[in-house]
Each structure stands twice: as C-alpha cells, then as structure tokens.
C-alpha cells in the first residue's frame, strides 16, 4: 500500500487513464501501479510509506579549501 501526502494542496486532483483522482485532507492511499506511477511524477505529491525507509542523503566528503595564489607584484611603469 502506497501513501502519498500533499501538504501544499490538501485537495490536489490528478488524472490516471482518463479517471479523476483526488487527495483528501492532503493524503492519498492506493495499491494501483498506475496511480503510483503518476503520483511519483507529480512534484506536489510526496510518498510517505511507513514500511519503506526514506532514502538517506548521500554523504559528500568535504573538500579542503584551495589555497589562494600569492598576489602578483605590482608592475613598475
């Protein structure tokens, strides 16, 4: 069972194979693969399954700051 939430638009509506579907109170629950495919593509819908762990953010190693080049000597004109 897939759960989706839409905190920005609690009554968000969308179409799946010509049929209209709608969030209720910001939540939508479905088992239909077609519904899940459409909801995964929507930017305003977020999947919130309790059984599926959320992907952990990728750890990016911090780079050492680059040393700045020494300043140039002023040219004599």
Q: pLDDT value at position 54?
A: 54
The DSSP call for residue 7 is: S
The answer to whether position 15 is within a domain reads: yes
pTM over 0.85, yes/no: no
- List, for residues 20-38, the tens digit of each pLDDT value: 999 999 999 999 999 999 9
* 4 and 48 Cβ atoms separated by less than 8 Å: yes
The answer to whether position 61 is within a domain reads: no
Residue numbers of the chain with a pLDDT score lower than 50: none
Collapsed DSSP state (helix, strand, coil) of residue 4 = strand
Q: Counting beta carbons within 10 angstroms of the beta carbon of residue 33, is it exposed (0 to 12), middle (13 to 18) or buried (19 or more)?
A: exposed
Q: pLDDT value at position 22?
A: 94
The answer to whether position 34 is within a domain reads: yes
Q: Domains in the chain: how many in total?
A: 1
Q: pLDDT value at position 72?
A: 75
The range of the structural domain enclosing residue 12 comes to 2-47
The answer to whether position 32 is within a domain reads: yes
């Amino acid at each position: 069972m897939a759960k989706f939430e839409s905190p920005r638009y609690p009554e968000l509506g969308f179409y799946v194979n010509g049929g209209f579907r709608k969030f209720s109170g910001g939540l939508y629950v479905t088992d239909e693969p077609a519904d899940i495919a459409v909801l995964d593509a929507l930017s305003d819908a977020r999947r919130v399954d309790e059984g599926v762990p959320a992907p952990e953010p990728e750890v990016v190693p911090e780079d050492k700051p680059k040393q700045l080049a020494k300043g140039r000597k002023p040219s004599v004109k």
